[in-house]
Structure 1
Amino acid sequence: MPDRRQSLLDAALQLVGEGGLDAVTIAALTKRSGMSNGSIYHHFGSRAGVFAQLYADSYGRCVAAMLPALQAGSAEEGVRGLTLSYLDWVMANPSRARFLYAAPDHADPAAKMAEFAPVLAWFLDRMASGELRTVPPWALEPVAMGPAHESVRRFLLGVFDLALAREIVADAVWAVLKP
């Protein structure tokens, strides 16, 4: 039953938003969701299973929000569009973004790479054609998206106005990748 699974994930996300990862216990999930321990174990196997599925779900939504930017005409429009889409998703989904930053050890690396594959392919194609500076794939996220990630971290801490800075951040990411 996808509805029951989603209800449990929604309950976990609410608990994370209220008290961090430690707030998500099986007892708290049963109380918040109104479901039994058995339902939680049936659908996810464990607390770690809840986190793994919540991570996959949140990461998938984030990447899906970015994919339309891949249709941009120029490399600059694409890079800026990907960055702005990411920042806009974070502002619209702060609880999910906070979870992604707080729980990276719950990611399935292979699933994450598969989800990100269209974005990575877009970058690699533009690097190969000379439209973007060549950056090794392993360095793409920390080097190119560093300004975005640091801005998001500060936004999630409540000390940075991401809405005001989004264009500046997109400019910074483009500055790193322009040929």
Structure 2
Amino acid sequence: MDSLERSATTESRRQSILGAALPLFLTKGFTETTMEDIRQRSGASTGSIYHHFENKEMLARALYLEGRTSLHDVLFTALATSDPREGITGLVYAYLRWYEQHPDLGQYVMQAGDTEYLGAYVKVLRQKTKTVLPEENFPTQFFQWLAPFVEAGAVKCLPQHVYFPLVIGPSRDFARRWLRDRIASEMQEAREPLAEAAWVSLSAG
């Protein structure tokens, strides 16, 4: 087995461990879930689990980062356009589609900041991306993409910190409620009006 194959195998094992932990954390709870529970569900050896994750807390953090990174990657892709309306509405569509496709991970990410075992970590991470790693802070990146349209008069001139909440806030509230029952038709019905409302909230015209 060459180095690329070993790397792929190692990442596959890591993902299977994370995939096993997610439903356990959501249904059994973080406190009640043990590393042995995760080992049994993933089929990994004890040595393999501790090779990837020092403890349950580090595994929980890694799972949060996986979800956060996955969501942000999707949102960044939506901004690959020079049309402000297409980018803003596409951002809402991408945001809602991600939650529809990853409901369990979405619920985990959505609730992370309010949990005792991840709340402090999430707070520190958010502050770090604001001050040290702005390239990983999506609201900042969104404003940088939006700024030329503001300067051109296509988008309203508003305080920088309100743009992202105006675009994503209603969709975030909807996603939080949708995750309770996960009715597909409700998600389909919500996309267009939420996307159009986001554009109207920022459009200067």
TM range (shorter): 0.7 to 0.9
TM-score normalised by the chain length of structure 1: 0.84
What residue is the counterpart of 1:153 in the other structure?
176
> CA offsets per residue over residues 31-88 of structure 1, 9 Å max, x none?
2122344433332222221122111111111122222321234211110011111111
Q: Distance in 2 between matches of 1:159 and 1:68?
A: 25
* 1:23 to partner: Cα distance: 5.3
Q: Does 1:167 align with 2:199?
A: no
The equivalent residue for 2:5 is none
Matches within 5 A, 1:116-131: 116=138, 118-131=141-154
Task: Find the partner of 1:60 among 58, 65, 69.
Answer: 69
Q: 1:42–1:113: structure 2 CA closer, same or farther, 3 Å change rule?
A: farther
**Which one of 150, 165, 187 corresponds to residue 142 of structure 1?**
165
* Equivalent residue number for residue 176 of structure 1: 201
| Equivalent residue number for residue 49 of structure 1 | 58
Question: What 5-or-longer segments of structure 1 have no aligned partner?
Answer: none
**1:86-97 alignment runs, 5 A limit:** 86-97=95-106
1: CA distance between counterparts of 2:25 and 2:110?
12
1:80 touches 1:173 (CA, 8 Å); kept in 2?
Answer: yes
Structure 2 unaligned segments of length 5 or more: list them: 1-9, 114-118
Q: For the structure 1 residues 177 and 31, does the alpha-carbon distance in structure 2 shift closer, same or farther, using more than 3 Å as the test?
A: same
Identity of aligned residues (%): 30
RMSD: 2.5
Give the whole-Å Cα distance in 2 for the aligned partners of 1:151 and 1:30: 35
TM-score (norm 2): 0.75
Q: Point out the structure with max Rg over C-alpha.
A: 2
Cα pair 2:142 2:164 within 8 Å, conserved:
no
CA contact (8 A) 2:75 2:94 kept: yes
Alignment pair present for 1:31 and 2:54: no
| Displacement of 1:5 | 1.4
Give aligned pairs, total: 179
In structure 2, the partner of 1:7 is: 16
